[in-house]
Structure 1
Amino acid sequence: MTKETSENQKEKFEFKPRARLLAQLGDQLIKNEHIAVVELIKNAYDADATFCKIELDNFMDRENGSITILDNGNGMDIDIVKNAWLEPGSDSKLDEDKKPKLSPVYQRLPIGEKGIGRFGVHKLGDKITLITKKQGFKEVHVEIDWSDIEDVKYLKDFPIKVEEKEEPLFFTEENLRDILNLDEEFPSDQIKLHGTFIFIKTLKTRWDHTMVKELARTVSSLQSPFQKTNQEFKVDLILNQNKEWLDGVQAWDDIRKQALFKFKVKIKGSEITSFNYWFMPYESIQHKINKKHLTLENNSYLNSYRNLYDEESKQYINLSESSAKVGEVTFEGYIFELETSVLRLGSIEHIPAFKKYLKTHTGVKVFRDGLRVYDYGEPENDWLGLDNRRFNNPTKGLSNSLVVAAVQLDRANSSDLFEKTNREGFVENDAYLNLKKALNHVLTLVENLRYVDKLNLKRSLDSGKKQTPNQVILEAIDYVEEQEIDVKVKKEIITYFDKLDKDLESVKETLLNAAGIGLSLAVVVHEVEKRVRLVNRIAEQQHVSDELLDNVQKLSKIVDRYVKIIKASPLKLQSINFALDELKLDIEFRQDEHRIEVIYNYEDAADIKVEYSRSLVSMVLINIIDNSIYWLDQKYDVNGFEGVKKIFINVEEDDKYGYVVIADNGPGFNEICMDTITEPFVSYKPRNSGMGLGLHIAQEAMFKQKGDILFPDYTEFDIPEEFHCGALVVLRFNKEKVLN
């Protein structure tokens, strides 16, 4: 090190922020004008205000327009103005331990603790007047003109006019009565002669209809529609021109009456502590379908999923972890149906206007201590992936356009949820990720409950008729035949309908075979993978060659079996036992892997022969066993029940039918799914981890063989008592000749 370098290091160096930096921060840290206003409202809340009044005047004219924000909070003295308001990033809202300081009057935790709310004024306009008064102190006036910024190089040289007034000029009873339109009868002792008034002119933006509507929506959604704060805090938005632009903006009480579904769920730690779900059909159709209210206490399905579990990580979720504290969470919302045919049943005067209004309010918003955390629930922020859920499961999934919901948090107990510096949501740490997983767990339960009621609603409106495409074609043919039209034309039309009917059957058969192959191949891959691993492990351990050969042979048989499944086999009169014998080989390895005891009771039963396709029945049996294995794992491995996992397989018959009976001692079918269990794309696995196609395809495969899948009560078949609590699935085969 040279002597010259050493001498230079003694020189004092410091940052010299440019004057325009503060204005630039306002533009870049605050996303838009609406958020700028919201940040100023939050400052009012932090200051113990009970109201905040926002007024826009000549707002379509940048030069002559103005924005005013008035609150009756604690106000500031000159020291606070100097050392907090004029000091961006100050820690004035923190105590000595650097923890958020409670407000003096209402003991509110600050929601603007980042100290950037004041940047909002720079986002809105160039000329700013701040008038503030703290009780017992002089009124302080601050003047800032950002249009002079180009004439000043460094921030420290930028002129800011700060003045104390010996006598208040703004916060007087006479002035406040005039501004707030208080009549003479309003008690003087209820007029607070302190607070903060901000006057902004030379607007940065010309406010148009869209911006005003967005501001109104933002202000109205600042407070949760489901929960009022424990202290009075009212926000008023006033337009001095174009007042009609605000018509209908705050009509939430009327809108929510059109919701068909509602839910309210409380979460604490690692479980759901309270769950309420309502189905609320319109009064005009309550003679066809009943209201419903389900809870943890009256619904076994909900109670069985009260523990929060993440299917992806195979771990329980805990919102009370020491490093990821979220505290108690309340999640509630309304769900709407937007089909015009359904909306017509409600008391909606103008359906297009209703849909347009609802579109601006839907989504899942987040509130802490009753006030909004942005920008969750905004149109561009699908933070819970609702639209993706809808895309993956269009039949059952909820989309943002259908839901108005709120997540309620307590600021004091959600200390590990940190808001980002730019005020656009939480830092994505463990607390935030656990919160999302817990909410998605709840959403799956709500989707499953809603789907059942939605399907029953549709059936009731359709008078219980469920028409297939083939039935529609046949009705169309009958209609054409009844019409008095040219015989040649009629014959040609009917020919086309006949062709369409045959083509539809061909497409259905092709899709059924393809879907069955896909489901079977998934199991093939799993079985081959496990066998190959075992063969490799045996080879590495240098086990005896007989054992190695035995596993190779079993692997070869499995592959051979699935080659046969992939190749469609014809209907043939044969013993049901053949299919069950092959099933034993198919599931042998999975049975061992999942530690499941399978009781093959059919071996001592009568040999029943019916017509069926070996490939289709194999696919159906594998699908049913695969479901049993999944739910047995859920009950005993995931939820920790003690006992041995078991599956019971038997055959029975009567004069008309042969039956394959499959039972397990898992959690069984819940009461909400029985009407929809074979519907396509309906899965009751946690977090929609299943595609919801397996049982639908299995049922179509049985229909193809003039059979059916039944979900009877255990009393209808000879089932050991230990399986009475689990799932019971029965394949019914027609003994009559299927082939024509």
Structure 2
Amino acid sequence: MKKNVTKAKFNFNGRTLYDLLGGENIETDSIAIAEQIKNSRDANATDVTIDFSKMEENIITITDNGQGMSLEEIHDNWLTIGTSSKINDSAKLGGKGVGRFSLFRLADKISIKTSKENITYNFTIDKKSLEKNSLSDINIFQEYTNKKLGTQITLTELSKTINLYEIERGIENLVHPEHNKIHKIIYPDSYQQKDYLSPRKFLDQAPFHAVAIIEGMNIKEYKFNCLIKGETYYTNNQINNNFLSTLNKTLSMNFANNINLGEIKIEIYNFFFDRPFLSWHKGIEQTKIKNEMLEAYQGISVYRNGYKIFGHGEEDWLKLAELRLKRPGDNIDNKSTYGLVTLDPVCSISLKEKTNREGFIKSPEYTYFHETVLCIVKQVGADRRESIRNIRKLIKGNPVQPIGIRYNPDQTKKLNKAEKTVQLNNENETKKTKQTSKTDEAKNTGKTVENYPKDNNTSQTIKTDFTEQPGKKDATKKPNPVSPNKIIDISFGYSEETPHKIKDIIEELKRITNKNINSQALLLRCLIDISTQYYQTKNDIDIKKNNLPGNIRIVLNTFSDNKLLDLKAINRVRQSINKENTLQYFNGVAHDYNYRANFSDLVEIWNTFEPYITACIKP
């Protein structure tokens, strides 16, 4: 029996170009501009100009002095969707074959003028034509000129929502600091340019600095330094065994333990904006660092071939904020960190970027990359915590050994074979930090070198003095005071790391009775206020001046978003700060000399706020 055969072919709607590969695929304007700069660089351009000066006239131009395109290259590359001309070339920044269509995020009409070997070609693509599904109806005009090379892209019918501020901020750290920028941006006269400052101007004000080099399953180098006013107050060149064990298990479970992306260099600078430290140091330009540098350079950015490929804007791809909320003292904050991860352009080619340039495609290679970088970042957090302990001593005027080298001779201890993991060894472990070097340094510098315990496991849980652990007790339960005349139960505890001021207030509230009710009221208000500010400062959350209820709401939202406190306890505090008697108490006890406290109100406020205060001061 004869079968009928009907031939069919794929058809593409024009919307594929301007929406799915353009405006809807790229999430920020800066990525669309970055794609064009990278394309110019791939065309061997040494000068790229992005001109927004005529934006109010509905025109943006992007001009480069690259190699231009011939008619054949226009057909095979520019007008071919998903071209593979760069896909296996490790020296190229592109590879998806769709980056040029991101311009549809900025405009509805794109005109191309490109010159090569004294011939200039012009063509235009626009949404109106594409909406008619006329993918093949593109006219290319040819003329002979004196211009040998180069390309100019002109955008018209511009989007009404182009964000120049986001573009300026997002492009600021596009190029690795060790490479030269080939691009310049011209803004309209009406736009007030931010003019960000280079990180180099402020790096000496970042007390915490770490460098790590990883290749395959070896940590070739790790070094952390705490440097303040030219003096080193803490240093470490070892990775904690618990971090390594966790890393190895994760890699093994995800088939990522035999991957080699070549040499990965990680460099991290972390700033410390603790108020006592700023007051003591007097040389930290906090406002400038935050507003004129970190606003554009914050976070840990990933570079390949000299250009940023991940970590756009405020993207916290390592989820450092989540880690810091869970254990604030043990983790660095994305907002106060300037970090660089530099990839080997050849060996890391298997680490594939997403089409929208918003990260990497999930794969064993990405798991390896993400987890190894995260391991280093966690170690930096642990070393930062140890450094801060020395800083606290320094601020108080207590003697601090200027150099402390932690040395763990068991660092290269192999894991049990049953775990089927590969140990990340520290190749420099036997070359550095030997006991004899400590003696030599002490002789040469006259400084006392701190000898840390040989088995210093920095990832162990910090022992606290809490009688009841906040996570185990009923957060909504109202405890009975030891005395009917006192507010706070004598069993209420706090950790050793709790600031002395908070400890003193708690102990005083345990001691005094309602014979001194006004003192009780004032101290309780201070405890709530200082605990709230302590949590905000510790987690780099902006503090609203003279607005205690507003600050409490901000902290409650953080607790709720990260599940750091029982929801019932959160709702009780929220309801309390909306009550008239609570607001009268907050304002009256601090500002009204005629205010008279009510003991039963104080007890109710304490019972409501106890779990909140516990969460705020938890280490």
Does the pair score TM above 0.5?
yes
Aligned to 2:156: 201
Aligned to 1:428: 362
Contact 1:319 1:325 in 2 (8 A): no
Aligned to 2:215: 268
Contact 2:68 2:150 in 1 (8 A): yes
- The alpha carbon displacement at 1:634 in A equals 8.0
Aligned to 1:72: 65
Q: Does 1:279 align with 2:188?
A: no
Equivalent position to 2:125, from 144, 149, 169: 144
Change (3 A) 1:161 1:400: same
Q: Does 1:162 align with 2:140?
A: yes
The residue matched to 1:404 in structure 2 has which SS? strand
- Write the deviation string for residues 636-683 of structure 1: whole angstroms up to 9, x where unpaired: 66289xxxxxxxxxxxxxxxxxxxxxxxxxx99xx9998999xxxxx9
Change (3 A) 1:101 1:360: closer
Contact 1:390 1:396 in 2 (8 A): yes
Identity %: 25
Aligned to 1:452: 386
The residue matched to 2:67 in structure 1 has which SS? coil
The structure with the largest alpha-carbon Rg is 1
- Distance of 2:115 and 2:450 partners within structure 1: 66
The residue matched to 2:23 in structure 1 has which SS? helix
Q: Which amino acid aligns with 2:97?
A: G
Aligned to 1:395: 329
Alignment gaps of 5+ in structure 2 = 401-407, 418-433, 439-447, 468-490, 492-619
The residue matched to 1:414 in structure 2 has which SS? helix
Contact 1:144 1:160 in 2 (8 A): yes
Q: Which amino acid aligns with 1:162?
A: I
Number of residue pairs the alignment of both structures matches = 430
- Distance of 1:125 and 1:458 partners within structure 2: 54
Q: Does 1:217 align with 2:169?
A: yes
After TM superposition, list the pairs within 5 Å mapping 1:9-48 onto structure 2: 9=5, 11-25=6-20, 26-48=22-44
After TM superposition, list the pairs within 5 Å mapping 1:184-583 onto structure 2: 193-207=148-162, 211-225=163-177, 228-229=178-179, 232-242=180-190, 244-247=192-195, 249-281=196-228, 283=229, 290-292=231-233, 294=235, 296=237, 302=238, 309-311=244-246, 314=249, 324-344=259-279, 345-347=281-283, 351-357=286-292, 358-374=294-310, 376=311, 378-379=313-314, 381-464=315-398
- Please report the RMSD computed on the Cα atoms of aligned residues, expressed in angstroms: 3.8
- The alpha carbon displacement at 1:18 in A equals 2.3
- Distance of 1:440 and 1:457 partners within structure 2: 25
Aligned to 1:175: none
Q: Which amino acid aligns with 1:433?
A: T
- The alpha carbon displacement at 1:398 in A equals 1.0
Contact 1:142 1:162 in 2 (8 A): yes
Q: Does 1:101 align with 2:36?
A: no
The residue matched to 2:202 in structure 1 has which SS? helix
Contact 1:45 1:233 in 2 (8 A): no
Contact 1:274 1:295 in 2 (8 A): no
The residue matched to 1:12 in structure 2 has which SS? coil
- Distance of 1:634 and 1:167 partners within structure 2: 67
Q: Pick 1 or 2: higher relative contact order, CA cutoff 8 A, min separation 6.
A: 2
- The alpha carbon displacement at 1:267 in A equals 1.0
TM-score, scaled relative to structure 2 = 0.62
- Distance of 1:276 and 1:429 partners within structure 2: 29
The residue matched to 1:426 in structure 2 has which SS? coil
- Distance of 2:26 and 2:154 partners within structure 1: 19
Alignment gaps of 5+ in structure 1 = 95-99, 103-108, 172-192, 297-301, 467-630, 641-666, 678-682, 698-703, 705-740
The residue matched to 1:408 in structure 2 has which SS? strand
Equivalent position to 1:111, from 93, 107, 123: 93
The residue matched to 1:692 in structure 2 has which SS? coil
Aligned to 1:692: 462
- Distance of 1:295 and 1:325 partners within structure 2: 26
The residue matched to 2:330 in structure 1 has which SS? coil
The residue matched to 1:442 in structure 2 has which SS? helix
Change (3 A) 1:215 1:257: farther
- Write the deviation string for residues 183-219 of structure 1: whole angstroms up to 9, x where unpaired: xxxxxxxxxx412111111112343xxx222211211
- Distance of 1:272 and 1:634 partners within structure 2: 12
The residue matched to 1:424 in structure 2 has which SS? coil
Q: Which amino acid aligns with 1:403?
A: T
- The alpha carbon displacement at 1:696 in A equals 10
TM-score, scaled relative to structure 1 = 0.52
Aligned to 2:81: 88
- The alpha carbon displacement at 1:332 in A equals 0.1
Change (3 A) 1:276 1:459: same
